[in-house]
Copies of this chain bind each other. A is one copy, B any other.
């Protein structure tokens, strides 16, 4: 459908960036897809069952997860029919925009999806998925992806990344170091993963200094395997800087499973500051994703585990939350710390002023629910005036839905073009500056802020 907001200057700006290579410095694609390059299974398994954006909406209007073949065997064709029968629920959502884009641009489908066309869609997509040109590597190449970062547990052996590197294929897929399970004592896998960390690194992780060394070893391994960044998920942000005795005591009791919620948070808060300091040492960019309360639906969590669409954003206080970390390393331009929020009230109130002051900070793009057309508009409207453009980190798609990657970057590029078109129309900058800013936001800033090289 025609987008009138891309008439005029905005359209010219968009034309200048729409075909730039995709830089995807943060996301959740499975590296195994590209290591093995096996075909994706059926349309439901590709588009519906793994995408919590999609099944949460169906669930919210009374469709059971069983009907979708989640946690239950179900004919994929029937799953797709159920989805098609509820396609109207997605009107006005980015999920619908992403899927429409994929249907049209990736699978060549141009009839509207409905109950009547459900089987046609299913068959056509299934047919394509059996073709070599729809294998993961071929799609990666077709999508014009310059670099794709995955997100990997700190103990991961990165074998899939090794296999990709060794393959006769030019795609650049790099890991990202995610140590939540070894720095947050209340992470469900903390006990197991601390044992594994000790084994893997040959270190006595019960001693705080050696525990830090073990983490340094893992970071070095990730860096050697191509990583340029770490990533950290935190519900309630409260960084800290504690003394050695306190830390040893907290670590000892953490390993014994004896920490209170508050003590665990203090330990994690200190460890985030350690992570920032290690980033100064080893140059890995640090990402902080803050404020999602995970798995708020306990029955669903008990039955199906995490990532079932019940993660809900919470308010965040970035000023007090980052105080300890920033006052240790925030003045150091060698640190690149990229912040992601789900609390839009912090865009103009806290994040833009902070990014517009601290040399170490950049703001990540709109995250999750806010990675949408209005979300992008609100973000640019609220952060640019105080932080400018160079304190931003460009775009991330943050997706585990591989075929949506081009759609998401396209939506960002449209949003950027609309924003910059308005800036020109309002007399805030000339066309030449707007064209430069467009390229910066669509491509260059992601490369630069994630240190993805020339």
Contact = CB atoms under 8 A, between A and B. Distances in A.
A361 interface: yes
A72 interface: no
Interface stretch (A1-9, A182-190, A222-230): A1-9
A89 B300 CA distance: 47
Contact of A298 (B309, B327, B349, B374): B327
A242 interface: no
Given A62-B359, A374-B381, A327 B299 contact: yes
A359 B57 CA distance: 9
A1 B430 contact: yes
A385 interface: yes
A275 interface: no
A330 interface: yes
A12 interface: no
Interface residue tally of chain A, by bracket? 35 or more
Given A299-B331, A342-B349, A429-B92, A60 B391 contact: yes
B327 A319 contact: no
Interface string A209-243: 00000000000000000000000000000000000
Contacts of A373: 385, 426, 428
A139 to B, nearest CB: 25
A128 to B, nearest CB: 25
Interface string A355-372: 111110100000001101
A437 to B, nearest CB: 7
Contacts of A331: 297, 299-300
A426 B3 contact: yes
Nearest to A308: B357
Contacts of A353: 311-313, 369
Interface string A389-407: 1110000000000000000
Interface string A41-65: 0000000000000001101111000
Interface of A: 1-5, 56-57, 59-62, 88-94, 97, 293, 296-300, 309-315, 317, 319, 323, 326-327, 330-331, 333, 342-345, 348-350, 352-359, 361, 369-370, 372-375, 381-382, 384-391, 423, 425-430, 433, 437
Given A1-B430, A62-B333, A89-B390, 18 more contacts: A1-B427, A3-B427, A59-B357, A60-B355, A60-B359, A60-B361, A88-B433, A89-B388, A90-B388, A91-B437, A92-B389, A92-B429, A297-B327, A310-B357, A310-B358, A315-B349, A348-B369, A369-B386
